[in-house]
A and B are shown apart, each in its own frame.
Chain A
Amino acid sequence: QLQLQESGPGLVKPSETLSLTCTVSDGSISTGPYYWGWIRQPPGKGLEWIGTISYTGTAYYNPSLRSRVVLSVDTSKRQFSLKLSSVTAADTAVYYCARQRVSGRPGVAAAEPDNWGQGTLVTVSS
């Protein structure tokens, strides 16, 4: 059974960089046809897609966050990672990693997340 687990600091200071890693167990991150994504949810609010990466390292970002986000993947460790720079209180959220299916739509890489990590709360505060 595929499992995803987020890890990283639960508290980040304003203007610093938020760094999270997702470890994929019971399955290979290189096994297709899947992509690997990050989604966040501010407390009491809805879901926001952050970005998606393929096992080859091709990344796709939400335009609203593109200037501050970098995704990376390490297939040997079965991990993919998120870095979000210049954080503010508005970046306080539960961050989820997820496996995403390949889209059937031409020009679109990834589709719905079908397996999610449990999520990790990251608070931005001094």
Chain B
Amino acid sequence: DIQMTQSPSSLSASVGDRVTITCRASQSISTYLSWFQQKPGKAPKLLIYAASSMQSGVPSRFSGSGSGTDFTLTITSLQPEDFATYYCQQSYSSTLTFGGGTKVEI
């Protein structure tokens, strides 16, 4: 299986901050990488697919970049509703795998 490693596992930030989350794949996955946001007690929500394509309805402060093995999710000007856990997920392999998550908290 392709292992997905996120860093950091958690971070503290303030409203208005720029936040960057990193996801590294154990092998090259081209741009078959998605990002999800999950709030407590809720299902994950798709933010970014194909490494940098924004899902419909997602605020433009969210952006994704990267290819191969290294990817980033950036949130410019963090908003109160952005405090959540973020997961990356690869679909390069037929066995889909997720990163361990990054919790963004105050």
Residues of A in contact with B (beta carbons under 8 Å apart)? 46-49, 52, 60, 62-63, 96, 98, 101, 103, 105, 107-114, 116-119
Number of interface residues of B (CB under 8 A): 25
Instruction: Determine whether the beta carbon of A118 is less than 8 Å from that of B43.
Output: yes
Chain A neighbourhood of B92, CB < 8 A? 105, 108
Instruction: Determine whether the beta carbon of A108 is less than 8 Å from that of B94.
Output: yes
Is B71 an interface residue, CB under 8 A from the partner?
A: no
* Alpha-carbon gap, A108 to B92, bound state (A): 7
**A-B CB contacts (within 8 Å), total count:** 61
Instruction: Determine whether the beta carbon of B49 is less than 8 Å from that of A111.
Output: yes
Interchain CB contact (< 8 A) of A112 among B1, B43, B89, B99 = B89
Chain B neighbourhood of A118, CB < 8 A? 42-43
With A49-B95, A111-B91 already in contact, the answer to whether A105 and B32 are too (CB < 8 A) is yes
- For B44, give the chain A residue with the smallest CB separation: A116
Is B66 an interface residue, CB under 8 A from the partner?
A: no
* Alpha-carbon gap, A63 to B93, bound state (A): 12
* Alpha-carbon gap, A118 to B39, bound state (A): 12
Instruction: Determine whether the beta carbon of A49 is less than 8 Å from that of B98.
Output: yes
Interface of B, helix, strand, loop or mixed by DSSP: loop
Chain B neighbourhood of A62, CB < 8 A? 95-96
Instruction: Determine whether the beta carbon of B55 is less than 8 Å from that of A114.
Output: yes
* Alpha-carbon gap, A98 to B34, bound state (A): 15
CB distance from A3 to the nearest CB of B (A): 11
- For A107, give the chain B residue with the smallest CB separation: B94
Instruction: Determine whether the beta carbon of B95 is less than 8 Å from that of A112.
Output: no
With A47-B87, A96-B43, A117-B43 already in contact, the answer to whether A108 and B98 are too (CB < 8 A) is no
CB distance from B3 to the nearest CB of A (A): 12
Instruction: Determine whether the beta carbon of B95 is less than 8 Å from that of A63.
Output: yes
Instruction: Determine whether the beta carbon of B44 is less than 8 Å from that of A47.
Output: yes
Question: Could you say which of B42, B44, B45, B92 has the most chain A C-beta atoms within 10 Å of its C-beta?
Answer: B44
Q: When A and B form their complex, which 9 residue pairs have the shortest distance between CB atoms, in order from nearest?
A: A116-B43, A112-B34, A49-B96, A111-B91, A47-B98, A108-B94, A114-B46, A112-B49, A46-B100
CB distance from A58 to the nearest CB of B (A): 12
